[in-house]
Amino acid sequence: MILEIVTKKANEMREQAFIVYEDVVSATAAKRGLDGFAFYDRPLKIDYAKTKSYAVAKLDGTYRMQSLDSNKKASSGSNKVMKREPAGEDEDGRPSKMVRREPSESEDDDEDDE
């Protein structure tokens, strides 16, 4: 029995669909019967999924909804503001290139006051 049919509208996913079956027996029967079948003069290419679908995970109780908070926490570390400051002088006595560093906590507090 088919649980779900998933299609994407993106150009790179055009002409592709993901059919989710209730059990492996149904999926195997469909794969054997339709792999290579001529559909609009083109052969169908059928493979098993590499990961578990949301529909199957919901049925077997392993589905976990991703919250927006967990996504924000995961990306919060990469959004730090970097400051540039002179690195000092090189051996010729000229100023060297700028160096990026993270601001200290006291500098962060100063920016909030402005």
Q: What is the pLDDT of residues 72-108, one digit of tens each?
A: 555 555 555 555 555 666 666 666 666 566 666 665 5
29-72 confidence digits (pLDDT tens): 999 999 999 999 999 998 888 877 777 777 777 777 776 665 55
Confidence of residue 109 (pLDDT cuts 50, 70, 90): low
Closest by Cα among 35, 54, 55 to 45: 35
In this structure, the number of other CB atoms found within 10 A of the CB of residue 30 comes to: 14
Per-residue model confidence (pLDDT) at position 34: 92
Among residues 26, 32, 17, 29, the alpha carbon closest in space to that of 56 is found at 26
* Res 43: pLDDT: 93
Kindly indicate the confidence band of residue 111, based on its pLDDT and cuts at 50, 70 and 90: low
Domain region containing 26: 2-60
> Could you tell me if residue 72 is inside a domain?
no
- Please state, in angstroms and rounded to a whole number, the distance separating the CA atoms of residues 75 and 62: 25
- For the chain, the domain total comes to 2
CATH number for position 42: 3.30.70.330
Residue 65 in any domain: the answer is no
The Cα–Cα gap between 51 and 106 comes to 47
Between strands 38-39 and 42-43, the pairing is antiparallel
Asked whether residue 109 is assigned to any structural domain, the reply reads yes
Query: Does residue 84 share a domain with residue 45?
Result: no
